[in-house]
Copies of this chain bind each other. A is one copy, B any other.
Amino acid sequence: MAERNEITDYFRGLQADICQQLADADGAAFVEDEWERPGGGGGFARVLEGRAIEKGGVNFSAVHGELSPAAAASLHVDAGETGFYATGVSIVLHPRNVHVPIIHMNVRYFELDGGRFWFGGGIDLTPHYIDREQAAWFHQQLRDTCDRFDPAYYPRFKQWADEYFYLPHREETRGVGGIFFDRLEPATEGKDKADLFAFTAGVGETFAPTYLHLLSLNRDAPFTEEERRWQELRRGRYVEFNLVWDRGTKFGLTTNGRTESILMSLPPVAGWTYDYRAEPGSREADTLSLLRKGIDW
Q: Is the CB of B45 within 8 A of A259?
A: no
Q: What residue of chain B has the Cβ atom nearest to residue A171's Cβ?
A: B259
A55 interface hit (Cβ, 8 Å): yes
User: Does A74 interact with chain B (Cβ within 8 Å)?
Assistant: no
Q: Which residues of B contact A240 (CB under 8 A)?
A: 243, 263
Residues of B within 8 A of A170 (CB): 259
Give the number of chain A interface residues (Cβ < 8 Å): 34
- A272: B residues at CB distance < 8 A: 55, 263, 266-268, 270
Question: With A244-B243, A268-B272, A272-B267 in contact, do A169 and B45 touch (Cβ < 8 Å)?
Answer: no
C-alpha spacing A189/B259, complex, angstroms: 39
A169 touches which of B239, B253, B268 (Cβ 8 Å): B253
A271 touches B274 (CB 8 A): no
Given A269-B232, A269-B269, are A260 and B239 also a contact pair (CB < 8 Å)? Answer: no
Q: Mark A94-126, 1 if CB is under 8 A from B, else 0.
A: 000000000000000000000000000000000
Is A273 interfacial (CB-CB < 8 Å)? yes
**Considering the chains assembled together, what is the distance between the CA atoms of A253 and B241 in angstroms?**
11
| Interface check A47, CB cutoff 8 A | yes
CB of A271 within 8 A of CB of B273, answer: no
Chain B residue contacts of A47, Cβ below 8 A: 274-275
Q: A178 on the interface (CB 8 Å rule)?
A: no
Residue A236 lies at the interface, judged by CB distance under 8 Å to chain B: yes
Chain A 235-259: CB-based contact to B (< 8 A → 1; otherwise 0): 0100110011000001001100101
B274 touches A55 (CB 8 A): yes
> Given contacts A55-B274, A267-B272, could you give 4 more A-B pairs where the C-beta distance is less than 8 Å?
A168-B254, A244-B244, A266-B272, A269-B271
Which residues of A are at the interface with B, using a C-beta cutoff of 8 A?
31, 33, 45, 47, 55, 57, 168-170, 232, 236, 239-240, 243-244, 250, 253-254, 257, 259-260, 262-264, 266-275
Q: List 21 A-B contacts (CB under 8 A).
A: A33-B274, A45-B274, A47-B274, A47-B275, A57-B274, A169-B253, A169-B254, A169-B259, A170-B259, A232-B269, A239-B239, A240-B243, A243-B244, A244-B253, A260-B275, A263-B272, A264-B274, A266-B272, A267-B271, A269-B270, A270-B272
